[in-house]
Structure 1
Amino acid sequence: MTRLSAITPSGSVQLGNYLGAIRQWAAEGTDEDVYFISDLHAMTTSHNPSRLRALTREQLAVLVATGVDPRSVSVQSDLVRELGALTWVLECTCTYGEAARMIQFKEKSKGRSSVRLSLLTYPVLMAADILLQGAREVPVGDDQRQHVELARALARRFNGTYGEVFAMPKAVVPPTAARVRDLADPTRKMAKSAKDSAGTVFVLDSPDLVRRKVRRAVTDDLGVVRYAPEEQPGVANLLEVLAACARKAPEEVAESVKGYAELKEVTAEAVVEELRPVRERTRELLDDPAELDRVRRHGAERSRERSRHRLDAALRVSGLG
């Protein structure tokens, strides 16, 4: 059964991306799964072309360096012709009301007099991502569940109108993973696009920078090391990071730490060692453009090959070609 997951190059890969998703893709993925860098999705708001290109290559390198099967990895824009064609067909299947009621569109366009049309239509592109690859399961958080439901609705409508072409995808809850919060503000998630990076640990941060960020992490004035997310969010955040690196439960690692200073030191070293091989391998790949280009090219060829018959069928039954 094909599962599909993606990461958007809106910023450098951070610890939450790595512990919460990428590491699991490497450990649990199968050769039927699809993992891609959604660079087209990063264009729904203002962006710098050179930075987008660099971040796309960096994310591709991180996925491969983490151990995600290179055969399952691709870059979304390498299939821009296929996705462009299918997106148009699906837009002709979708209604304006369906697109406009997407929660993310409502939130991101609220209070703004002008937004890019792509912000409205990108859920249809996401549906094309899913349906083109024949994905049956799409692990997503609650903020993306509605988009998968749109893909299901469009697949059902297309199949019912023109003939059976698309598999019916479903949103699934991702396997339990680390919930990494911003070190400077544990009330919010760690984010790769955060304006203030003081509380964000990036995979490519140097060991010394990782240590500085963790040592400055917000805790509280209670002075008690225990796993209590509601009462002590800062301490709980450090314990969850430490536990994820140690492959243990937060409650378990809390028992071996005596104070906040020790908690920060132990967590910092655990993060440094967890990221070290990934950072080093990522740097090697980025310093070897030919190898990274080869991985990217092969990934695109495999994605194109596995989806060609599906696109051809969709175009044919809808009256094109």
Structure 2
Amino acid sequence: MNSNLRSPHLGRSLRYLSSSIQNTGFRLHADDLPAEAIIFSMIQPTGKFHLGNYLGATRIWKDMCSLKKADQQLFFGVADLHAITVPKPNPKEFYRYRREAIASILASGIDPSKSSVFYQSSLPEHSQLYWLLCNFSPLGSLNRMAQWKSKANIQEVLDDQEKIANVNLGLFAYPVLQAADILLYKATHVPVGDDQSPHLELTRTIATRFNKMYKTKYFPIPKTLLAPTQKILSLTNPAKKMSKSDPDQIGVLYLNDSPELISKKIKRAITDFTSDHMYYDEENRPGVSNLITIISGIQRKSIQEVEKDIEHFKNFKDFKNYVTEIIIEELKEPRLEFEKLINEPQYLDSVIEEGRVKAHEVVSKNISEIMEIMGYS
């Protein structure tokens, strides 16, 4: 591995630590994960993926596929049960989003021959274990989760009783379903973004409670894998994350955006008034810092290395042209592959079914063992 691709603060790309959280480097080594690791991760079906989805999730899935060892198991799913915690009143649109999510996963380079790619909803064992684990889930822990408050537009737990009264149970309790997703496969490692870390802590709490109650070590205590790539922000409003639901779509970069559209979006990206020196300052230069973060994620370089690469730029036009070229080149293959796959419904169906069958072999055995431990056999 070329040392100039590593973060100077992280050292080796992925250390196998005894703690519950592992910080990954920009690249993985073949020996970074245990030979019998079970890796699980899912992404919500918001349709075609944006750059944040790609850099924050699916690209590391691709890395894991390329470095997979014979006894490792990789499960990558579309979390379509989680998706309905926010209402999806248009079934045709929701169906299309689910299909585009599968196509985006494959277009990102995930190899279905080395992993299982499937819909969460195609395996009822997820919902079955979810109910069982609800009875090991502390209400206080769920109440402290930030995600449901954010989606319900609640700033503080007690700031708006009417809003709280209208929160649906699924949105409030979906971290338990997330725990069931992970524990159903007896996953040992879960690559997630930093905003999902509290949910992994809850998963470990639930697993520990279950194991303690039944005097067993059935559930491994899964490790959180955190990549150094920071969250990608909106190009036009760097105060918030890049999101498909953003009403200003100029601020969102999609995997299947044309080179012309990428160029247009980067030209309109928010910067500031200091054009003779490009440097990272998240507080005072959020727009420029976001573009630097994008370069860092794509090139797998530290922020400091990127700053050194761009120090010669003395105006935003040249800097933005540089950013545009990097993004266009990185997304060229995923864009072409997505366009190909979305027009091959039979192939997508075959991948989904093959992934479901492989996953079902694992989860049907595991749920039977869990039920037996609990006295349901």
- TM-score norm. by structure 1 comes to 0.91
Distance 1:314 1:246 in 2: 43
1:200 is displaced (CA, Å) by 0.7
- 1:249-264 map, 5 Å: 249-264=305-320
Contact 1:285-1:292 within 8 A present in 2 as well: yes
Deviations 1:56-85 (A, max 9, x none): 211111111221121232221111x11121
- Structure 2 SS opposite 1:3: strand
Q: Residue 212 of structure 1 aligns with which residue? A: 264
- Structure 2 SS opposite 1:225: coil
Contact 1:5-1:138 within 8 A present in 2 as well: yes
Q: Among all aligned residue pairs of Structure 1 and Structure 2, give the percentage whose two residues are the same amino acid.
A: 36
Q: Residue 306 of structure 1 aligns with which residue? A: 362
1:162 is displaced (CA, Å) by 3.2
Distance 2:316 2:148 in 1: 41
- TM-score norm. by structure 2 comes to 0.78
1:293 correspondence with 2:349: yes
Distance 1:255 1:14 in 2: 28
1:260 is displaced (CA, Å) by 0.5
Q: Which runs of 5+ in 1 are unaligned?
A: none
Q: Select 1:269's aligned residue among 306, 325, 339.
A: 325
1:173 is displaced (CA, Å) by 4.2
Contact 1:4-1:138 within 8 A present in 2 as well: yes
1:241 maps to amino acid: I
Between structures 1 and 2, the one with greater helix share: 1
Deviations 1:237-281 (A, max 9, x none): 223323443444321331353420011122112212211110111
1:163 is displaced (CA, Å) by 5.0
1:40 is displaced (CA, Å) by 0.8
Deviations 1:15-74 (A, max 9, x none): 111123222221234352322111111110111322222112111111112211212322
Q: Select 1:87's aligned residue among 110, 130, 155.
A: 130
Contact 1:145-1:171 within 8 A present in 2 as well: no
Contact 1:242-1:250 within 8 A present in 2 as well: yes
1:198 is displaced (CA, Å) by 1.7
1:23 maps to amino acid: R
1:225 is displaced (CA, Å) by 3.4
Question: In the superposition, relative to structure 1, how do residues 242 and 150 fare at CA in structure 2: closer, same or farther (>3 Å)?
Answer: closer
1:101 is displaced (CA, Å) by 3.5
Q: Select 2:285's aligned residue among 232, 236, 239.
A: 232
2:298 maps to amino acid: C
Q: Which runs of 5+ in 2 are unaligned?
A: 1-36, 155-159
Q: Select 2:335's aligned residue among 251, 276, 279.
A: 279
**How many pairs are equivalent?**
320
Q: Residue 198 of structure 2 aligns with which residue? A: 146
Contact 2:189-2:225 within 8 A present in 1 as well: no
1:158 correspondence with 2:202: no
